[in-house]
Structure 1
Amino acid sequence: MKGEINGLKTLIMDDTPNAYYVHCFAHQLQLTLVSVAKKNNECGWLFDTLGTLLNVVGNSCKRREMIRDIQAQNVARSLEICELETGSGLNQELGLKRPGDTRWGSHYKTLQNVMNLFPTLVDVLVMIGKNGSNADGKAKAQGVVLFLEPFDFVFMAQLMSTIFGYTNE
């Protein structure tokens, strides 16, 4: 929007030199919230842990397929015992995209998906830790499980999800 040559700001300023440029306040709030959260030790730790989690399970097609398979089994089991409803738009596959500071709502969506997939992710990490093909992958998976299990991680994930949920509206 504010490109030097053909940006919207440049076009408006050329047409009306007295105009004021005000960036979207909601977007400024989102950027500020992400920046402040990452500077806080506990919140920074949460996002570092999420980054490691996404590296371990999200960068491998085989591991993403494991997540899909376990989640499909969980949904099928829940549908059998009438724990879930069926219908258009329900029970969609959840992805694990890496959040970006400038992508609107990406931190909120990532936190929501991690919390919804939490039992599945722990199962996959445990399977990788036991049956992984290389020692480095096993160690990383076991380390991530140790970071996900404490109350602190779950509490901070819930807290940040609630805060980002307000700004996502």
Structure 2
Amino acid sequence: MLPFRGHDESDDTISRGLFIETLSLIREHNENDESSDVSKKEKMAMVLRYVDRLGVVKERFIGVVHVTDTSSLTLKATIDFVFTENKLSMTQVRGQGYDGASNMCGEFNGLKAFILRDNKSTYYVHCFAHQLQLVMVVVAKNHDGTHDFFEQLDLVVNVVCVVCASCKRKDIIRESYKKRLQTKIGIGETETGRGLNQELSLIRA
């Protein structure tokens, strides 16, 4: 198993651990280190919330749909297409929820407004998940511990996903780990023996 953390994570040590070394490696080999889709395409996720025959509120993830851009007209056309493909009717929709971006909730040219023109019953509610995110951002900005926790958590998930998605990156990590391990054994920082220093796998988050 690869060590996630090192016993000394300062800049001048070779024992900083897998996470920090992986993060540094990705930054060195990717000028634009971002969490965009590997196909470089804009995507829109669609989730439906409904009430079943027993009165239980349920949510279902419909899918992720490719869109050419994020303009309100394009998003509206895509939603109409998905509804048609799934034999759904916009007349049965009773609510819609997005974040506060102008292309989503604009009063006249936002996605909200276009859907309301088709169905006056589709009342708009600001996405509660987005509101929670905004609250967390404010809390994180005012509490260093909270900010550091979510920042590290985000980096951990992104790094693991980026590494696990590429065989080449895995090979680079293994080779880097092998060289560091050889160096540490050479200077006496790591013990050798049966069952020690075995690299097994990189687990996806």
TM-score (norm 1): 0.31
Structure with higher RCO (Cα < 8 A, 6+ apart): 1
Q: Which has the higher strand share?
A: 2
TM-score (norm 2): 0.26
Q: Which has the higher helix share?
A: 1
